[in-house]
Amino acid sequence: MPTDKKKYLSGNLDQIALSLSGGGVRAVGFHLGTMSMLRRLGLLHNVQILSTVSGGSMPGIGYSLAQQFGRSFQDFFDDFYEFLPELNILEKLLDGVTQRYPPTPSGRRDLITAMADVYDECYFSRFFSPYVKDGRLLFDVLMNGTGRGHLQEMIFNATEFKTGTAFRFQVSEFRCLIGNGNISICRKHAAQIRIADIMAASSCIPVGMEPLFFPDDFHWPDDGKSRRWGSRPSRPTNDEIRAALRRNTDTKEPTFALMDGGVYDNQGITSTLLALNRRKENYREQDTHECGVSMSSLGRSEPPGPEDWAKWMSGRVSSGSAYKSVGVKPEDLDLLIISDTPVRKASFYPRILFPSGAENNQPEADSREEAPKRGLLQRLGHWAKYRITLGMITFITTLLLIALSISLGIALIELWAFWDARPDEVPFGKGFFITFHVALPFLLLVQIWWLLWQYRKLRKELALKLQSLISHWDRKPKRYLKKLTVGDVIDMGLLRASSTAALTSAIYMDRIRGLGYSTAFSREDLQDKILANEIFALQKARQ
């Protein structure tokens, strides 16, 4: 069978595009090494297009700011050695979400809003705010700055959950959308976005973090500070954007969710192709539309449909399509470097549970390890977990309610008999004790009754939903639900949660990565222009 002869890069390397993939903290370290090597080879200053995703956005944004403020590469490089080793991210996040006031004026108190403040405090403001007059590091610094250095295109990728498309915070000397063709931000408001919020949106990892809602969870320069419980701070810019989105979107929703850019394209290849396209168009007049959707944004990003998208990525377009093809000519690009940190595991989801715990269903013990011995309490707990059913819990809870009701009745009779005397003759301590003796069963009774009512309501709704989905049942669904053991329910929940986490954080990401590479390497106009720099390739390299 004929084999493709290995091709080597040749010719000029004056026009380089660099994509920095996602991958968390290890991506930060690996991309710093990539950029350092390019500098040693004298090629870093030839990088004209920079596209970053998730963890790659931190060195990407940091280097863009360093270029803007005229800082040396060594200073930029040393910043990470100064703050990363000493940073306890988990402690910072927990401190942020447990402060007296929420980390964002929207009032949300969660990990992603706290993470945005960590980015700002520990990195961006720490190393770059001295270069800004008021100390506020906003996107305007990159959008309207004059000292961009050698970078002509800067794209920091997130994913918007309105249409499931890449949302790009990008800077270009050519006309570009800040967002995508489905929803975008006007330049006036984009300039006021805090740099740390862009970083948070780009690295908002699914499952591990909550979505970041635009514009509510972003910090705006004119946000007021409310220190009264329940009061809403004044947010003029935020309110303007909400009103514009309500006017200019088909759903009339004033907000939309943003998450990790790797959900759509973890290597940022698509954004690089769009940057090449607008450079070829050479249209420099910037947009003037409001936030939301505008007629001028149509056809200026990748197509939404799968067939049109596949043709567009391969350099072809459907007949009559508003989306222009991206054909890379020799004079457009010399080299596309994809600095990539993929996940490599023997198994993406190795953990297997044996929920029933029956002796004949236990896995054989590994000959290299002794099976851990269980104590008496552990054995009893394991037995109860897989023997007590939901129906039993309902029965036990009902008995407990009856017992508490009887106890409360007896306590009320005692209190009535004790209080039959004149109130001024009752000692305060004894009266307080008896009152507490009545109040405690009453509070427990109300709490347990409420929990039981909520459980029965949920079980009834689930049973009705099952009956609506499947009409014919030999027995009512609730009879089967009552026979489920506590252990079965817990194991089903854990398996669903852990497999979903593996699916979104590893399996889907690996598939998305493969699709991006297959598209890029299958294009004839990019065959000799792509250099994939993978973290695991270094392990295979000859020493």
Tell me the pLDDT tens digit for each residue of 310-341: 777 776 666 666 676 667 777 889 999 999 99
Mean pLDDT of 209-219: 95
Residue 38 clears pLDDT 90, i.e. is over it? yes
pLDDT in the model for residue 73: 96
Q: Are 91 and 178 in contact (CB under 8 A)?
A: no
pLDDT higher for 269 or 288?
269
Mean pLDDT of 202-229: 86
SS3 assignment for 129-162? HHHCCCCCCECHHHHCCCCCCCCCEEEEEEEECC
The pLDDT tens digits for 111-124 are 999 999 999 999 99
Q: How many other β-carbons are positioned within 10 Å of the β-carbon of residue 67?
A: 21
Query: In whole numbers, what is the pLDDT of the chain averaged over residues?
Result: 83
Is it true that the peptide bond before 342 is cis, omega within 30 degrees of 0? no
Looking up tokens 């897989």 gives 386
pLDDT in the model for residue 359: 45
Question: What percentage of the chain has pLDDT greater than the value 70?
Answer: 83
pLDDT in the model for residue 426: 55
Report helix, strand and coil shares of the chain as percent, to nearest 5. Answer: 50, 10, 40
pLDDT in the model for residue 4: 46
pLDDT in the model for residue 409: 81
Strand (E) or helix (H) holding 417 = helix 390-418
The pLDDT tens digits for 152-186 are 999 999 999 998 899 999 999 888 999 998 899 99
Looking up tokens 């209190």 gives 415
Question: What percentage of the chain has pLDDT greater than the value 90?
Answer: 36
Angle in degrees, CA 56, 58, 61, rounded to 5:
105
pLDDT in the model for residue 541: 56
445 band by pLDDT with thresholds 50, 70 and 90: confident
The pLDDT tens digits for 68-89 are 999 999 999 999 999 998 889 8
pLDDT in the model for residue 360: 44
pLDDT in the model for residue 352: 57
Q: What's the distance, CA 20 to chain centroid?
A: 18
Instruction: Count Cβ neighbours within 10 Å for each residue of 93-114 and write b for 16 or more, e otherwise.
Output: beebbeeeeebbbbebebbbbb
- Report DSSP state, residue 15: S
pLDDT in the model for residue 146: 65
Q: What's the distance, CA 146 to chain centroid?
A: 32
Using CA atoms of 38, 171, 111, 101 in order, give the dihedral in degrees to the nearest 10. 130
- Report DSSP state, residue 356: T
With a CB cutoff of 8 Å and minimum separation 6, the contacts of 177 are: 168, 170, 184, 287, 297, 300, 301
141 band by pLDDT with thresholds 50, 70 and 90: very high
The least confident of 87-91, 233-237, 280-284 is 280-284
pLDDT in the model for residue 153: 94
Mean pLDDT of 399-405: 82
The least confident of 284-293, 403-412, 449-458 is 403-412
Residue 235 zone, left/alpha/beta (φ > 0; ψ -120 to 50; rest):
beta
Q: How many other β-carbons are positioned within 10 Å of the β-carbon of residue 185?
A: 26
Q: Are 17 and 335 in contact (CB under 8 A)?
A: yes
pLDDT in the model for residue 237: 95
Residue 364 clears pLDDT 60, i.e. is over it? no
- Report DSSP state, residue 389: B
430 band by pLDDT with thresholds 50, 70 and 90: low
Rounded CA-CA distance 542/409 in Å is 82
Rounded CA-CA distance 184/167 in Å is 8
